[in-house]
């Protein structure tokens, strides 16, 4: 019983096992691009996948609120980019769950620049468009 666990542990330590983000599919790739655009402050790229019914929940911090539709969401991203960008992106986890109706991507990340922003992020895609998004400020546990 102990040997298979040790073998897996050794493979993981050697980098022979893929990370969770290596299993990301198309939505995971879209989410990664979205997060990279946020770090760069590229509002046009950030907002490219929104549709008229898109909803963005910003939970915590000075921009806390609910934003609906591409124009309102673009406005909040422009404020954020002006205040914070450029940032470095440290993606610590990315997971995708998909079925024929859509995909949900969850990510843990840290953005670093003028401030350090630890986040838990959830993105919901339908027909390859971003329909629901949650930006959760996630301070480290004490």
Burial of 50 (0-12, 13-18, 19+ CB in 10 A): buried
- Domain ranges (residues) in the chain: 21-137
3-state secondary structure of 27: helix
CATH architecture of 21-137: Roll (3.10)
Name the token pair of 110.
């840290």
pLDDT at residue 25 in the model: 85
141 has pLDDT over 70: no
Q: What angle is formed at CA 67 by the lines to CA 61 and CA 72, rounded to 5 degrees?
A: 115
Tokens 């298979």 belong to 4
Q: Which tokens is 52 given?
A: 């008229």
Structure confidence by residue, pLDDT tens digits, 37-84:
999 999 999 999 999 999 999 999 999 999 999 999 999 999 999 999
Predicted pLDDT at 139: 78
- What does pTM read for this prediction? 0.81
- pLDDT tens-digit series, residues 73-124: 999 999 999 999 999 999 999 999 999 999 999 999 999 999 999 999 999 9
**Half-sphere exposure for 7 (CA within 13 Å, toward CB):** 4
Q: Quick one: pLDDT band at residue 23, thresholds 50, 70, 90?
A: low
Q: Are 35 and 91 in contact (CB under 8 A)?
A: yes
List of residues 6+ apart from 28 with CB closer than 8 A: 21, 94, 95, 96, 103, 105
Check pLDDT > 70 for residue 4. Answer: no
């Amino acid at each position: 019983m102990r040997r298979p666990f040790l073998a897996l542990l050794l493979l993981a330590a050697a980098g022979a096992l893929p990370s969770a983000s290596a299993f990301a599919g198309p939505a995971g790739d879209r989410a990664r691009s979205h997060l990279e655009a946020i770090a760069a402050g590229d509002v046009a790229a950030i907002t490219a996948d929104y549709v008229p019914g898109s909803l963005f929940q910003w939970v915590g911090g000075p921009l806390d609120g609910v934003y609906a539709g591409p124009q309102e969401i673009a406005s909040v991203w422009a404020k954020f980019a002006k205040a914070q960008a450029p940032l470095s992106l440290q993606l610590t986890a990315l997971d995708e769950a998909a079925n024929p109706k859509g995909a949900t991507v969850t990510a843990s990340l840290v953005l670093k620049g003028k401030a350090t922003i630890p986040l838990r992020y959830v993105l919901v895609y339908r027909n390859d468009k971003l329909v629901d998004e949650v930006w959760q400020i996630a301070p480290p546990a004490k």
